[in-house]
Chains A and B, each alone.
Chain A
Amino acid sequence: EAQVTQNPRYLITVTGKKLTVTCSQNMNHEYMSWYRQDPGLGLRQIYYSMNVEVTDKGDVPEGYKVSRKEKRNFPLILESPSPNQTSLYFCASHGQAGGRQYFGPGTRLTVT
């Protein structure tokens, strides 16, 4: 089954404690993205990747890092989380420029 998986689904952490949210897709897609979803703001892109070792900033990249060492994986790293990063995070992938995006189930992060 074609899918995008994220882990963990829920995470509560404290300010400053480094964390990683994993994302994996089984569709051999070149393109992967991370979004955050906040009430009234829709989905905003954090980072994206066009292929292995090729990443770039989206609209709200501050406080986040990503890496793309393998085609299937695209982890999101928060080196020093802050309360304003409390949000619902989605990973997405698509197979070609302009192709249909597939979203993961989301990770709800709370930073206290």
Chain B
Amino acid sequence: GENVEQHPSTLSVQEGDSAVIKCTYSDSASNYFPWYKQELGKGPQLIIDIRSNVGEKKDQRIAVTLNKTAKHFSLHITETQPEDSAVYFCAARGTGGYQKVTFGTGTKLQVIP
């Protein structure tokens, strides 16, 4: 089955700096890559996603890049703010009847004011 690795597990940045979280996946048939943000005491919420026919997608301060050949994708947050502090999960969805989503192990991002 699919295996998703996520790095780093923790990340501290100064407010205003950029943060990058990287993920790799194993199943070359995976075609959808969502990113979730989980704030303390809440469930994960989708913040951005990318499909395999696109190399990059941007939404204000958040961007995701995908390298299908290398089977890795990354989340970039620019001009970080304290409210960006949270746990971030990457995920990969394969093909097939159910299209199961496999999650990475999470990155705890701390933005220091």
Chain A interface (Cβ < 8 Å from any Cβ of B): 4, 31, 35, 40-45, 48, 50, 56, 58-59, 90, 92, 97-98, 100-101, 103-106
Query: With a CB–CB cut-off of 8 A, which chain A residues contact B32?
Result: 98
Q: Are A103 and B43 in contact (CB under 8 A)?
A: yes
Set of chain A residues within 8 Å of B105, measured between Cβ atoms: 40-42
Nearest chain-B residue to A100 (Cβ)? B46
29 residue pairs bridging A and B, Cβ less than 8 Å apart: A35-B103, A40-B9, A41-B105, A42-B6, A42-B89, A42-B104, A42-B105, A42-B106, A43-B44, A43-B89, A43-B103, A45-B100, A45-B101, A50-B98, A56-B98, A58-B100, A90-B43, A97-B97, A97-B98, A98-B93, A98-B99, A100-B34, A100-B46, A101-B34, A103-B44, A104-B43, A106-B41, A106-B42, A106-B43
Nearest-neighbour CB distance to chain B for A103, whole angstroms, equals 3
Main secondary structure on chain A at its contact with chain B? strand
Measured between alpha carbons, how far is A31 from B101 in the docked complex, in Å? Answer: 12
Contacts of B12 in A (CB 8 A): none
Across the interface, which residues of A come within 8 angstroms of B28, CB to CB?
none
Q: Which residue of B lies closest to A105 (CB)?
A: B43
User: Which residues 39-62 of B have a CB within 8 angstroms of A?
Assistant: 41-46, 49
Taking the nearest CB of chain B, how far is it from the CB of A109, in angstroms? Answer: 15
User: Using a CB-CB cutoff of 8 Å, which residues 77-113 of chain B contact chain A?
Assistant: 89, 93, 97-101, 103-106
Q: Provide the residues of chain B in CB contact with A56, threshold 8 Å.
A: 98
Considering the complex, give the chain A residue whose CB is closest to the CB of B49: A100
Q: Return the 7 tightest CB-CB contacts between A and B, nearest first.
A: A103-B43, A42-B105, A43-B103, A42-B103, A103-B44, A98-B99, A105-B43
